[in-house]
Structure formats: C-alpha cells, structure tokens
Amino acid sequence: MEEPSAKLIHIDKEKKIDALFYINLYRGKLNWFRISTKVDKQMKKIKHSLMTSWLAILLLSGYSTRGQAGPLPKFTFKGIALHPESLSYAPTEQLVHPSIVKMRGRVKNPLGKYYLYYAPHKHIAISMAYSDSIEGPWTEYQGNPVIKGPSAPDIRWIKEKGKFYMWGHRKNSQTELWTSDDGLRFEYKGISITAKKIGTRNATYTRMYEYPLKRYGSKYIMLYSGFIKERGIRCVWLAYSTDVENWTQLKIPLVEPVAGENNDIYGPSLLQWENRNFIVYQDHTTWRGGNIKYVEVDSELNPVGNKGERFVLMDPPPDPPLKDRYRGGEFYLENDTLYLYSSASSKPRIIVYATANAVPYPNSKVRIRDGVIEKRKNKK
C-alpha cells in the first residue's frame, strides 16, 4: 500500500502530559487532588506518570464517543497530543485548531517528518511541533512562534506552487494567507476571505481542500465559520478558487444550525466516506464548543441550510481531560486508521486525538493527503 502523505502523530504521554491534578486509584475509585501549577521538574514527572495511568484506565474501560449511530465510523478517544504546561511557549495556556503537514521529501533536512501547527484562541501567534513517527513524541520547535499575530492555523502543501500555504486570522473579520518554502519562515501574502463580502461578523477557522466543483470550474474549496448578526446564528460557509490565492465566497451558508445546537456551528471540515460527502463541525452545547457533529452534502457541495439529518460523531464526557468540550477538528488517514485531531477542554485548552477503523471498501474508500481528498483506485 502506498504511504499516505500525511500522518497523525501522537505525543509521548510520559514526557508531554502535565496535569493539574494528582490522581489516586483507591478501591476502584479515582480520587483527585488539585495542585499548584508552579511545581518543580520532579513533581511534573510524577504528574506525567499519574496522568498516563489515568488515560490507560479510561481506554481499558471502553472510554469512547457517546455519539449516535450514523454513516461515519465510530471514533474512540485515544489521548492528549499536546498540553500547554509541557510547552515552553504557550501564551494563555490555550492550544486550538491543530493542523498537520508532511515535510519529508518537500524540504531539505526537516526537523521531523511531520509538522503540527497550533495557536492560542486569541490572536497572538502560530507555533509548531514536529515528529518522525506516528508513535511520537512531538518535539516543540525552539524557534516558536513561527508567525506572530494570527490564530487558527490551516496549512497545506500546494504541489503546483511548490510551497506551503498557511491560513490564519489576526482579527475575526477576515482570514489571511502566508506562504513558506520550509514551514518555518513565512511570508505574508494578503487577505483571502472577509466577513464583509457575505454580511457576517466574522470569517475564520478555515479548512482548505483540493476539491473541484464543476459548476464553478474551480479546483479548491475553503470551509469557514461566519456569524449572521441579524439572525443570531453562526454557520458554515463555502468559498472556492481556481488558483488557491483568489477566492470567491458564496453568499448563502452551506450549513446552518438546527435545534439543540444553540445557534452556533463552527470549526468545519470535510470528510469523504464511501463515496459520500460530510461536513463535520462543532456545536455550541458548552462554552465555545461542545459536540462534534456532521451532516451529509452532495458532490457539488450545494447548501443544505438547516436541513439534513445531523449526527453526533463525538460527545465529550464532563470529566477531564475533555470536560464536555471539543472545538473543531481535522481528519488524517494512516494505513487503515482514520485519525481525528481536535482541541478540547477549556482551562487549559489542549490538543487531543481520536481514531476510527478505516478498513478499505473495494469501490469507495477515500484517501486524505495534506488536505487533498482522493478516491483510492480499485484493485484489478
């Protein structure tokens, strides 16, 4: 089987998880004791070991999504990928909107085979960690941040340009573009989408894909979030482009919230499964986040508005580390495993991941490669 161009790498928990609690298992019960965040290195090692044991207990007890059955495979929570207390540069203790890209074969002497980009929720900076293996660990880049100012990184390798393209926002009313030859030094290119063009308060949290739309003769699409002040709802919107730099924004929302989603859906992504297209997003059942849900759209991504059956993909429990809150997510395929990387929790905000079985279907399985979604060729 051909190696996919993007791999999801999880962190070495013993080195990277730094909890805010002691955890003691006594007579089958988990007991929690809060500690100060100002601890010495030896105390952090103890906490790392305890948190690792706690995660193992959760996984062995069948800790998984509580979502309803739907056409997408069932995902199971696997662990924490990045925690702000384990990073030397983590302003506001917030890590959101993870985006991973393959580096090896595209740049000379990369720090690792894969780079993971993340940022605080506030408009401060984008940072990076790297790894060589799907087993981790992630290593924090000592030159962080790689871009000062924006949040919500969305990085893609654009083959025809021979560059990495990074989208992010320095203010909520627009999303901007930076490009790079090496994934470390970025050059500002300009504004890609704005709230003004569609009459919303914001135009942020993008995910860009190579996905041709016949009716527009385009090659790329961009999903993003925008709040309609007059209606009091936040929706998923669509833009398209022929050259990945100049974008046309559709003026009708692609997906609108339905009852029970508290008028807010955002952090969208696209997933193809068994020759079907799904828009995956988060609702607003908790503070600025909640469940990860999805709805089906047709092959031309025509708007569904507030129609279409909604399914829950991941329903986070109230207990740590998820604390009832997912925030967006993106999918990556590694062999026969589908990975979902997302932000979770509120204080602190962490990067987590879940997995699902993606056993090939003879005529319909898809592959996900650095934001490019393509069908796997049938075997003869």
With a CB cutoff of 8 Å and minimum separation 6, the contacts of 38 are none
Which tokens go with 225?
């979030």
pLDDT in tens, the chain (380 residues): 333 333 333 333 333 333 322 223 222 323 333 333 333 434 444 444 444 444 444 444 334 444 557 899 999 999 999 999 999 999 998 999 999 998 988 999 999 988 999 999 889 999 999 988 766 688 999 999 999 999 999 999 999 999 999 999 999 999 999 999 999 999 999 999 999 999 999 999 999 999 999 999 999 999 999 999 999 999 999 999 999 999 999 999 999 999 999 999 999 999 999 899 999 999 988 766 789 999 999 999 999 999 999 999 999 888 888 888 888 889 988 778 898 999 988 888 899 999 999 875 544 445 455 555 544 444 43
Domains in the chain: ranges and CATH:
13-375 (2.115.10.20)
pLDDT of 258 = 96
Decide if 285 contacts 317 (C-beta within 8 A). Answer: no
The answer to whether residues 295 and 309 touch, using CB atoms and an 8 Å cutoff, is yes
Residue 113: per-residue pLDDT: 87
Which sign, positive or negative, has the C-alpha torsion 13, 14, 18, 24? positive
Please give the backbone phi and psi of residue 333, each rounded to the nearest 5 degrees, phi first: -110, 130
Q: Which residues contact 228 (CB under 8 A, 6 or more apart)?
A: 199, 200, 201, 234, 235, 253
pLDDT of the residue at 360: 55
pTM here is 0.80
